Chain A
Amino acid sequence: MFRKTLILTLLIALLIGCAPAPTTPVVDSAPAEAPATEAVATEAPAVSAAYLVTSDGLGREVTLAAPAQRVVSLAPSVTELLFAVGAGGQVIGRDEFSDYPAEAAAIESVGGSMGEYSVEAIVALQPDLVLAAEINTPELVSQLEDLGLTVFYVNNPATIEEMYGSLENIAALTGHDATELIDSLKARVAAVDEKIAPLSARPSVFYEIDASDPAKPWSYGPGSFGDLLIARAGGFNIGSEAADAYPQLSLEQIVVANPSIIILGDSMWGVTPEAVLGREGWNTIAAVQDNQIFPIDDNLISRPGPRLVDGLEALAKILHPDIFP
């Protein structure tokens, strides 16, 4: 027994030992703690020669010699951010899901709809910048990096305000100025905030992402943009007390919460308010009795891009039609 354990341990040690050292040195984050002179000496020329040195969502330092002119986007939200800052013309490759704006469809796809991307298609495009997001695995990032590509990993923003940061980053990487865009987005959000603030009534909302099983539909929970936007648009999301960001709520929970409004994020898959009216067991819910069921474009809510503001306005209109005509 002991001998077998020992052999097993040795084998594992061998596996660890056999893995060769990383080919590119991993840049650790904290230059503040580094013994001063040497670090400064090696980093100084890089900084002065580069157009931009910035750290990305994985804590890596990304250096560009000039604004990126040939960009591959690996996530729909990133494609939207790129087009919003005016860099749409610099996008030469996109993932399979990038369908907005309509011009994106004409850009060459590099795969991604089954979680796997064609690395050689990406390399063949000879991009000077690849933009990845949280939908992409760190394995993919490292593979692209090992092939000599410059990769910037965009963290999913947690709030609308953080999304402005994504816009600024992407504008900087592609040589654009997002100030005007961000100012106008801020003004639109402020306009909603201002009208919502004095309201005391917060209608309760059930947001349906998917109800393939109508007894246990998926919804937005705490930490998701859906939850955040519903609250900001002056509603109470009945999923906000769930355990995770994309919970499955049972019909029982929904009946007890008795939402006064139902929003159909799955309307893009063909779910209609009429279909909800006909569901068995749903007729005790206030929203169903009062026919307060509204379709919405879920892409406005789920993609952490500039259209979140459109989503906020759309939700505000549904929740408070009297003050958002």
Chain B
Amino acid sequence: MKKPFLSSLLFLLLALVLSLAIGSVFISPAEMWKIVRGVGEEKFAFIIWNIRLPRTILIALTGAALSGSGAAYQGLFRNPLADPFLIGVASGAGLGAVMAMSIQWPYSFWGLMAIPMAAFIFALLTVFLVYLLARVGQTVPTTNLILAGVAFSSFATSLTSFLMLRSTSEVRRALGWLLGGASQAGWTAILAMLPYLVIGLGILVFFGHRLNLLQFGDEQAQHMGLNVTSTKTILLVASSLATAAAVAFSGIIGFIGLIVPHLMRLWFGADYRRLIPLSLICGAAALLLSDILARVVLAPQEIPVGIITALVGAPFFLWVLRRAKNQGYW
């Protein structure tokens, strides 16, 4: 593909339009056009502007955050299996959310905010703890980070399962959250997560060159004048911020952060200066398409989007991988 940015932006635009146009309530394209001009039927206009638009934005931001962080993690750890949940953001957030759900909060604005806030705080605490555990003197060896992350994740996940089994009444709520979905879709969620995404993802976009250098290995990169430890730390903080904020409101949506960066690498090459922004754009589009499927496959029943991403994403990814000419892309 000659113009990766043009084609991926067009792809995103298409996904955004489809996400607004498709839902369990049928709204015809003609009606859509009327609504855009402000003369549509009030009921449908309300659905478009107050339900589909905030959900579309939330899903797009979440997809961008997960895929962008996924690309950065894969570069940072130089590991094709890395995804944004590798060192514990998801399991930490899950533990925080389920802990918050086991408390009877009063029905109020802050009572409802308690769950995303607990998820966000626990996600960051987990990464922070894993970072401390993995540190050896002044350096943070990648292998240590991965191992500490995986071990701590298992610990947090089993605590989460235990809590869920203990409080049978909240299992549905907890499961819904853990499988991912825009259950709190609304402008509040978007406004609350936006600053973290802008800061976190902004840093990642500007760190493309440094990620390229990291691919030569820590020592080599150091020789080329890169402060490896601080670069890694900044990348880790930026990715974790974006991921934690997205997960806090959208739940744990797996797989997107793993395959979108891979697809971008397969199609457009491994230069992180392009890989990161392309992953952001296509990650948003890919999650939007998954969410559309989640809404329509069994309409009016909605399926947690985390189920769709892997159910549809995995076969698609395998298909692309099989027919790729460039098998040694990684």
Give the contacting residue for A19; candidates B43, B107, B191, B295; CB below 8 A. B191
Give the contacting residue for A120; candidates B24, B125, B128, B188; CB below 8 A. B24
Q: Could you tell me the distance in whole angstroms from the C-beta of A10 to the nearest C-beta in chain B?
A: 11
Max chain A CB contacts within 10 Å: which of B108, B120, B121, B195? B108
Query: Is B303 engaged at the interface, CB distance under 8 Å to the other chain?
Result: yes
The proximity string for B residues 22-63 relative to A, scoring 1 for CB distances below 8 Å and 0 otherwise, is 011100000000000000000110110011100000000000
Which size class do B's interface residues fall under? 35 or more
Query: Is A11 engaged at the interface, CB distance under 8 Å to the other chain?
Result: yes
Inter-chain contacts of B304 with A (CB < 8 A): 114-116
How many Å lie between the Cα of A108 and that of B51 in the bound state?
20
Inter-chain contacts of B47 with A (CB < 8 A): 120, 123-124
How many Å lie between the Cα of A108 and that of B295 in the bound state?
17
The proximity string for B residues 106-135 relative to A, scoring 1 for CB distances below 8 Å and 0 otherwise, is 111101110101001100110010000000
Inter-chain contacts of A137 with B (CB < 8 A): 172-173, 176, 183
How many Å lie between the Cα of A79 and that of B142 in the bound state?
56
Tell whether, in the assembled complex, residue B50 and residue A245 are in contact, meaning their CB atoms are under 8 Å apart: no
Query: Is B301 engaged at the interface, CB distance under 8 Å to the other chain?
Result: yes
Inter-chain contacts of A111 with B (CB < 8 A): 24, 299-302
Query: Is A142 engaged at the interface, CB distance under 8 Å to the other chain?
Result: yes
Q: Could you tell me the distance in whole angstroms from the C-beta of B243 to the nearest C-beta in chain A?
A: 13
Task: Say yes or no: A114-B168 contact (C-beta < 8 A), given A19-B192, A120-B47, A143-B184.
Answer: no
Inter-chain contacts of B202 with A (CB < 8 A): none
Tell whether, in the assembled complex, residue A116 and residue B168 are in contact, meaning their CB atoms are under 8 Å apart: no
Tell whether, in the assembled complex, residue A18 and residue B192 are in contact, meaning their CB atoms are under 8 Å apart: yes
Task: Say yes or no: A120-B184 contact (C-beta < 8 A), given A15-B117, A20-B191, A246-B168.
Answer: no
Tell whether, in the assembled complex, residue A15 and residue B301 are in contact, meaning their CB atoms are under 8 Å apart: no
Tell whether, in the assembled complex, residue B302 and residue A59 are in contact, meaning their CB atoms are under 8 Å apart: no
How many Å lie between the Cα of A142 and that of B188 in the bound state?
12
How many Å lie between the Cα of A19 and that of B47 in the bound state?
24
Task: Say yes or no: A141-B107 contact (C-beta < 8 A), given A124-B43, A135-B172.
Answer: yes
Query: Is A90 engaged at the interface, CB distance under 8 Å to the other chain?
Result: no
Task: Say yes or no: A116-B181 contact (C-beta < 8 A), given A123-B47, A123-B51, A244-B168.
Answer: yes
Which residue on chain B has the smallest CB distance to residue A223? Answer: B169
Q: Could you tell me the distance in whole angstroms from the C-beta of A121 to the nearest C-beta in chain B?
A: 4
Inter-chain contacts of B52 with A (CB < 8 A): 120
Tell whether, in the assembled complex, residue A146 and residue B186 are in contact, meaning their CB atoms are under 8 Å apart: yes
Q: Could you tell me the distance in whole angstroms from the C-beta of B109 to the nearest C-beta in chain A?
A: 4
How many Å lie between the Cα of A143 and that of B172 in the bound state?
17
Which residue on chain A has the smallest CB distance to residue B106? Answer: A59
Query: Is B311 engaged at the interface, CB distance under 8 Å to the other chain?
Result: no
The proximity string for B residues 155-195 relative to A, scoring 1 for CB distances below 8 Å and 0 otherwise, is 00000000000101100110110000101111110011011
Query: Is B247 engaged at the interface, CB distance under 8 Å to the other chain?
Result: no
Q: Which of B277-313 contact A (CB under 8 A)?
A: 295, 299-304
Inter-chain contacts of A200 with B (CB < 8 A): none
Q: Could you tell me the distance in whole angstroms from the C-beta of B24 to the nearest C-beta in chain A?
A: 4
Which residue on chain B has the smallest CB distance to residue A26? Answer: B108
Inter-chain contacts of A108 with B (CB < 8 A): 300
Interface size in chain A (residues, C-beta < 8 A): 49
The proximity string for B residues 238-274 relative to A, scoring 1 for CB distances below 8 Å and 0 otherwise, is 0001000100000000000000000000000000000
Max chain A CB contacts within 10 Å: which of B111, B191, B192, B295? B192
Q: Which of A9-37 contact B (CB under 8 A)?
A: 11-12, 14-16, 18-22, 26
Query: Is B152 engaged at the interface, CB distance under 8 Å to the other chain?
Result: no
Max chain A CB contacts within 10 Å: which of B183, B191, B194? B183
Query: Is B73 engaged at the interface, CB distance under 8 Å to the other chain?
Result: no
Q: Could you tell me the distance in whole angstroms from the C-beta of B273 to the nearest C-beta in chain A?
A: 27
Inter-chain contacts of A126 with B (CB < 8 A): 43
Q: Could you tell me the distance in whole angstroms from the C-beta of B136 to the nearest C-beta in chain A?
A: 16
Task: Say yes or no: A114-B24 contact (C-beta < 8 A), given A143-B186, A146-B186, A147-B51.
Answer: no
Query: Is A119 engaged at the interface, CB distance under 8 Å to the other chain?
Result: yes
How many Å lie between the Cα of A65 and that of B234 in the bound state?
56
How many Å lie between the Cα of A60 and that of B46 in the bound state?
25
Inter-chain contacts of A142 with B (CB < 8 A): 107, 112
Task: Say yes or no: A120-B25 contact (C-beta < 8 A), given A12-B120, A18-B191.
Answer: yes
Q: Could you tell me the distance in whole angstroms from the C-beta of B192 to the nearest C-beta in chain A?
A: 5
Which residue on chain B has the smallest CB distance to residue A96? Answer: B301
Query: Is B77 engaged at the interface, CB distance under 8 Å to the other chain?
Result: no
Query: Is A73 engaged at the interface, CB distance under 8 Å to the other chain?
Result: no
Q: Could you tell me the distance in whole angstroms from the C-beta of B23 to the nearest C-beta in chain A?
A: 5
Q: Which of A131-178 contact B (CB under 8 A)?
A: 134-135, 137-143, 146-147, 153
Tell whether, in the assembled complex, residue B24 and residue A121 are in contact, meaning their CB atoms are under 8 Å apart: yes
Tell whether, in the assembled complex, residue A245 and residue B186 are in contact, meaning their CB atoms are under 8 Å apart: no
How many Å lie between the Cα of A207 and that of B44 in the bound state?
49
Q: Sample 12 A-B pairs with CB under 8 A, ordered by A number.
A: A8-B128, A20-B192, A21-B109, A110-B300, A114-B176, A114-B303, A120-B51, A121-B24, A138-B105, A138-B112, A139-B184, A245-B169
**Those 9 A-B pairs whose CB atoms lie nearest each other, nearest first:** A22-B109, A58-B107, A118-B300, A116-B302, A115-B176, A111-B301, A121-B300, A118-B24, A124-B25
Interface residues of B (CB under 8 A from A): 23-25, 43-44, 46-47, 50-52, 105-109, 111-113, 115, 117, 120-121, 124-125, 128, 166, 168-169, 172-173, 175-176, 181, 183-188, 191-192, 194-196, 241, 245, 295, 299-304
* 15 extra A-B contacts, CB within 8 A, seeds A116-B301, A118-B23, A120-B52: A8-B128, A12-B120, A15-B117, A15-B120, A15-B245, A58-B107, A59-B107, A96-B301, A111-B299, A118-B295, A118-B299, A120-B25, A121-B25, A121-B299, A147-B50
